[in-house]
């Protein structure tokens, strides 16, 4: 029997809908919200309003591109959290309405679990792309989270390390902001870093126990470093932008990779994956490949369009929940914090 799942994602500033049939991606529509760029960060109230405007046309486009009618959808999966509450509410309310109207099961999805399961989306243009084998370790790095996750099965995951303050993506974005780069700064730092010398400047790395991360110290020291240099040389940032980006990027990557290598050794796991928005970073992808060769890992990176927020990853997670009949009730409420999920 064919199983068709509609996925909905609205946790931050992307409204997305995707259709997956038996694990194969039929469509993945993403409406990004340009409205936040002029503020240098996501404004929650504006995000909720834009989701409200986008959700119906985005779902309609996803169904049409997939060639699927609402009646052919077997189950609807929606991000329950973590994320911005008002934004989540739009997706969750829509999904409940759809579930009632079509009399289909509803599956609630943890956004972070979704990022990891993006590896199991089969794309028609690359159907034989290898998928991680259980158990594997996943370095999940996004705008809101930096975690090392032990993945035992599709729906059996354990967070073994987490950031105690800022996420890696936040470090990229906030440091970019102090350099005067537009939001989100991560992709721009990645681009500029390619022309810079990663050894030009040295930034302190945190000493945090276990497999946990910390990025707020790096962000602060980067800010003070710039302030001191700009005081002496007003166009310091302009003159050294590429070197600053390259040095900062390599520091973030070293911090991320050191803990990942430690975790792989301790858990004796050689299946290693990246996930989340920052997994698009070219330096991080190269560092993973290098470590893979050195330590004999099989490494996995998601396709670029499935690294940032998207509904395909929500639909695939919903698909595994559907198979296990893990359905949500209509009283399910969105949860802003991961701890409340
Ligand atoms: O996963 P995501 O879309 O949002 C969350 O769920 O948090 O991740 C967005 C983050 C932003 O911080 C953005 O700057 C970062 O991913 N990002 C990158 C790159 N592409 C996106 N960071 C570094 N290099 C990139 N190429």
pTM: 0.95
How much is the pLDDT for 207? 87
Preceding amide of 296 cis, omega within 30: no
173 lines ligand 1 (CB under 6 A): yes
Kindly give, in sequence order, each residue whose CB lies less than 8 Å from that of residue 297, ignoring residues fewer than 6 positions away: 264, 270, 271, 272, 291
- When pLDDT is averaged across residues 43-60 and rounded to a whole number, the result is 96
Q: How far is the CA of 217 from the centre of ligand 1 (A)?
A: 19
- When pLDDT is averaged across residues 229-236 and rounded to a whole number, the result is 95
281 lines ligand 1 (CB under 6 A): yes
Can you tell me the distance from the alpha carbon of 148 to that of 259, in angstroms, rounded to the nearest whole number?
A: 8
Q: Does the structure show a pLDDT above 80 at 339?
A: no
Residue 298 sits at φ, ψ, to 5 deg, of -95, 120
How much is the pLDDT for 209? 92
144 lines ligand 1 (CB under 6 A): yes
How much is the pLDDT for 132? 98
Give the mutation target among 13, 112, 139, 186 for probing the ligand 1 site: most ligand atoms within 8 A of CB.
Answer: 186
Specify burial of residue 121 (Cβ count, 10 A radius: 0-12, 13-18, 19+): buried
Q: What is the pLDDT of residues 154-209, one digit of tens each?
A: 999 999 999 999 999 999 999 999 999 988 899 999 999 999 999 999 998 988 99
Q: What is the layout of strands, in order, in the sheet containing 14-21?
A: 24-32, 14-21, 4-9, 75-81, 106-110
Q: What is the pLDDT of residues 12-37, one digit of tens each?
A: 999 999 999 999 999 999 998 888 87
How much is the pLDDT for 12? 92
Q: Does the structure show a pLDDT above 80 at 135?
A: yes
41 is in an annotated binding site: no
How much is the pLDDT for 37? 78
Q: What is the pLDDT of residues 318-337, one digit of tens each?
A: 999 999 999 999 999 999 99
How much is the pLDDT for 141? 97
74 is in an annotated binding site: no
How much is the pLDDT for 67? 98
Beta bridge partners of 300: 273
At CB < 8 A and 24+ separation, what contacts does 19-22 make?
19/62, 19/63, 19/65, 19/66, 19/68, 19/73, 19/315, 20/121, 20/312, 20/315, 20/316, 20/319, 21/66, 21/68, 22/319
Q: How far is the CA of 104 from the centre of ligand 1 (A)?
A: 33
Q: Which two tokens stand for residue 169?
A: 């993506």
Give the pLDDT band of residue 61 (cuts 50, 70, 90): very high
280 lines ligand 1 (CB under 6 A): yes
Q: Give, using CA atoms, the residue closest to atom 16 of ligand 1.
A: 277
Q: Give, using CA atoms, the residue closest to atom 7 of ligand 1.
A: 143
172 lines ligand 1 (CB under 6 A): yes
- When pLDDT is averaged across residues 234-258 and rounded to a whole number, the result is 97
CA torsion angle 170 318 79 124 (round to 10) = 60
How much is the pLDDT for 33? 85
309 lines ligand 1 (CB under 6 A): yes
Q: Does the structure show a pLDDT above 80 at 51?
A: yes
Can you tell me the distance from the alpha carbon of 280 to that of 288, in angstroms, rounded to the nearest whole number?
A: 12
Q: Give, using CA atoms, the residue closest to atom 14 of ligand 1.
A: 186
111 is in an annotated binding site: yes
81 lines ligand 1 (CB under 6 A): no
166 lines ligand 1 (CB under 6 A): no
How much is the pLDDT for 41? 80
CB distance 146 to 168 below 8 Å: yes
Helix/strand/coil for 43: coil
- When pLDDT is averaged across residues 75-104 and rounded to a whole number, the result is 98
How much is the pLDDT for 45? 92
- When pLDDT is averaged across residues 105-123 and rounded to a whole number, the result is 97
């Amino acid at each position: 029997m064919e199983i068709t799942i509609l996925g909905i994602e609205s946790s931050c500033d992307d409204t997305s809908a995707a259709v997956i049939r038996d694990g194969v991606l039929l469509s993945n529509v993403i409406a990004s919200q340009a409205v936040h760029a002029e503020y240098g960060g996501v404004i929650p109230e504006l995000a909720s309003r834009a989701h409200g405007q986008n959700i119906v046309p985005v779902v309609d486009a996803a169904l049409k591109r997939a060639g699927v009618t609402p009646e052919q959808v077997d189950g609807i999966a929606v991000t329950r959290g973590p994320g911005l509450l008002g934004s989540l509410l739009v997706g969750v309310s829509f999904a409940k309405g759809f579930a009632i109207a079509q009399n289909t099961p509803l599956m609630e999805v943890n956004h972070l679990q979704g990022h990891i399961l993006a590896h199991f989306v089969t794309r028609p243009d690359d159907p034989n792309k290898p998928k991680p084998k259980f158990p594997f370790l996943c370095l999940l790095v996004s705008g809101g989270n930096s975690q090392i996750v032990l993945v035992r099965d599709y729906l059996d995951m354990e967070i073994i390390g987490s950031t105690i303050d800022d996420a890696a993506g936040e470090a990229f974005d906030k440091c970019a902001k102090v350099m005067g780069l537009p939001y989100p700064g991560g992709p721009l730092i990645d681009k500029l870093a390619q022309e810079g010398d990663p050894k030009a400047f040295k930034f302190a790395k945190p000493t945090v126990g276990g497999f946990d991360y910390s990025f707020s110290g790096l962000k602060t020291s980067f800010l003070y470093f710039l302030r001191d240099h700009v005081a002496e040389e007003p166009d310091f940032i302009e003159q050294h932008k590429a070197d600053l980006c390259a040095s900062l990027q390599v520091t973030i990557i070293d911090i991320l990779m050191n803990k990942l290598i430690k975790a792989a050794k301790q858990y004796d796991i050689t299946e290693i994956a990246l996930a989340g928005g920052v997994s698009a970073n070219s330096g991080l992808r190269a560092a993973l490949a290098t470590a893979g060769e050195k330590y004999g890992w099989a490494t996995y990176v998601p396709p670029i369009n499935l690294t940032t927020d998207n509904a395909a990853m929500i639909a695939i997670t919903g698909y595994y929940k559907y198979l296990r009949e893990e359905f949500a009730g209509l009283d399910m409420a969105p949860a802003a914090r991961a701890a409340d999920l």
